[in-house]
């Protein structure tokens, strides 16, 4: 029979564990909204960019907010199909994250390479920053939230003015409108958001950079993957037991080549519903985010509500 001392120690350990969990630590680290004079550092942890890429529109958008955007020459560096060696890209991220005068880190480019930066030794410091990116950058956004750091926003600096304004509002701490998708399974789910590219996150399974999904609302998107490949990846998630403790699940845009589907095959919506529709939780498809337009921004770790009856995903105050 457990003694009073044992129970006290056990209870204290439970409390300490809860206080030290990534979500508890994140809740204690409030990020200051961006304001006029805030500094943003651009990085490129993935595939190399054309040196002639026109970034003037991005500069103008930041100027309108009176944000100081820094675009180092390193973002157009090239080594093989990366924007520099793994170690060079690690140092770029370390420099941005460890600079106390930098308020936000904005990812340019994409392709492939961010997970290699994590493998090569990049670790997030204990202080949070805003960060913005999607696609390949999902690995860094997920790792940031797994480290207990708020501020990771799944979104793009491109797109329409309305899309950009939503991103600005999130960075400035202002409320944003709910996103509307297609309802597939009824119910109301509440929990922290985990938003990611499916392929990128699938390749983080078994690493410390995939955050806990217990009680979370998972939002997935992907591009260039046929339904049978999405089926394969979701089967891996199911087999690994990663979907069974979710509060809710939603999908953004999934796009693929038309000739990837033959007569009699599952359509994309059919395979998403077949693989995600039997979890006993709300399911919404075709939210306006992911590759293509619009790509509406969502913050990882933010408390949200998913309404499976009406197809609405809302951020909670």
Stated as kind and residue range, the H or E segment containing 106 is strand 104-107
Residues 123 and 249 both lie in one domain: no
Q: Which of 38, 138, 156, 221 is catalytic?
A: 221
**pLDDT computed for residue 264 by the predictor:** 82
Domain that holds residue 276: 179-315
- Is 70 exceeded by the pLDDT of residue 1? no
> What's the pLDDT tens digit per position in 15-44?
334 434 455 445 445 799 999 999 999 999
- Using CB atoms within 10 Å of the CB of residue 30, give its burial: 0 to 12 exposed, 13 to 18 middle, 19+ buried: exposed
Distance CA(197)–CA(37), nearest Å, equals 32
Cβ-contact 27, 43 below 8 angstroms = no
Residue 91 forms part of a structural domain: yes
Residue 113 forms part of a structural domain: yes
Distance of CA 300 to the CA centre of its chain: 6
- Is 80 exceeded by the pLDDT of residue 68? yes
**pLDDT computed for residue 259 by the predictor:** 77
Distance CA(293)–CA(126), nearest Å, equals 34
- Using CB atoms within 10 Å of the CB of residue 249, give its burial: 0 to 12 exposed, 13 to 18 middle, 19+ buried: buried
Residues 215 and 158 both lie in one domain: no
pTM metric for this prediction = 0.91
**pLDDT computed for residue 312 by the predictor:** 98
Residue 300 three-state SS: coil
Distance CA(174)–CA(315), nearest Å, equals 11
The residue-averaged pLDDT of 200-210 equals 98
Residue 46 three-state SS: coil
Residues 98 and 184 both lie in one domain: no
CA atoms within 13 A on the CB side of 201: 28
Distance CA(251)–CA(197), nearest Å, equals 10
Residue 2 forms part of a structural domain: no
Tally of structural domains, the chain:
2
Residues 36 and 159 both lie in one domain: yes
Q: CA torsion 57→224→218→235, rounded to 10°?
A: -170
**pLDDT computed for residue 29 by the predictor:** 56
Q: Is 154 an annotated catalytic residue? A: no
Distance CA(295)–CA(38), nearest Å, equals 24
- Is 80 exceeded by the pLDDT of residue 166? yes
> What's the pLDDT tens digit per position in 95-142?
999 999 999 999 998 999 999 999 999 999 999 999 999 999 999 999
Residues 55 and 154 both lie in one domain: yes
Give every CB contact of residue 166 below 8 A, 6+ residues apart in sequence: 155, 176, 177, 296, 297
Boundary (domain end) residue, out of 138, 171, 204: 171
- Using CB atoms within 10 Å of the CB of residue 220, give its burial: 0 to 12 exposed, 13 to 18 middle, 19+ buried: buried
Residue 153 forms part of a structural domain: yes
Tell me whether the omega of the peptide bond preceding residue 294 falls within 30 degrees of 0, making it cis: yes
Boundary (domain end) residue, out of 145, 171, 197: 171
C-alpha triplet 120, 138, 105: angle, nearest 5°:
80
- Is 60 exceeded by the pLDDT of residue 181? yes
Q: In what order do the strands lie in the sheet with 303-307?
A: 179-180, 312-315, 303-307, 188-197, 217-223, 248-255, 283-285, 182-185
Q: What are phi and psi of 253, to 5 degrees?
A: -80, 130
Residue 97 forms part of a structural domain: yes
> What's the pLDDT tens digit per position in 253-286?
998 777 777 888 999 999 999 999 999 999 999 9
Where helices occur in 65-194 by DSSP H, the ranges are 86-98, 114-119, 138-146, 161-171
Q: Is 221 an annotated catalytic residue? A: yes
**pLDDT computed for residue 256 by the predictor:** 79
Boundary (domain end) residue, out of 107, 142, 171: 171
Q: Is 225 an annotated catalytic residue? A: no
Q: Which of 135, 138, 139, 156 is catalytic?
A: 135
């Amino acid at each position: 029979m457990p003694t009073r001392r044992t129970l006290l120690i056990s209870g204290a350990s439970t409390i300490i564990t809860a206080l030290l969990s990534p979500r508890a630590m994140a809740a204690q680290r409030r990020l200051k909204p961006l304001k006029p004079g805030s500094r943003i550092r651009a990085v490129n942890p993935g595939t190399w960019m054309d040196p002639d890429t026109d970034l003037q529109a991005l500069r103008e958008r930041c100027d309108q907010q009176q944000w100081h955007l820094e675009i180092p020459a390193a973002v157009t560096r090239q080594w093989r199909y990366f924007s520099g060696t793994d170690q060079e890209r690690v140092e770029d991220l370390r420099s941005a994250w460890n600079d106390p005068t930098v308020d936000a880190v904005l990812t340019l480019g994409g392709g492939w390479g961010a997970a290699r930066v994590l493998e090569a030794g990049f670790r997030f410091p204990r202080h949070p920053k805003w960060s913005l990116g999607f696609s390949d950058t999902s690995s860094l956004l997920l790792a940031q939230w797994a480290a207990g750091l708020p501020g990771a926003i799944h979104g793009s600096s491109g797109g329409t003015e309305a899309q950009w304004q939503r991103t600005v509002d999130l960075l400035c701490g202002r409320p944003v409108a709910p996103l509307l998708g297609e309802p597939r399974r009824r119910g109301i789910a509440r929990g922290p958001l985990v938003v990611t590219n499916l392929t990128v996150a699938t390749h983080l399974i078994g690493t410390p950079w995939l955050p806990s999904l217990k009680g979370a609302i998972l939002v997935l998107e992907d591009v260039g993957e046929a339904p049978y490949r999405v089926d394969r990846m979701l089967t891996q998630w199911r087999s690994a037991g990663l979907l069974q403790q979710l509060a809710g699940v939603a999908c953004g845009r999934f796009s693929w080549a038309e000739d990837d589907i033959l007569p009699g095959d599952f359509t994309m919506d059919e395979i998403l519903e077949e693989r995600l529709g039997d979890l006993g939780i709300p399911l919404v498809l075709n939210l306006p985010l992911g590759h293509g337009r619009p790509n509406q921004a969502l913050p990882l770790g933010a408390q949200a509500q998913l309404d499976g009856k009406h197809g609405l995903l809302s951020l909670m105050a």
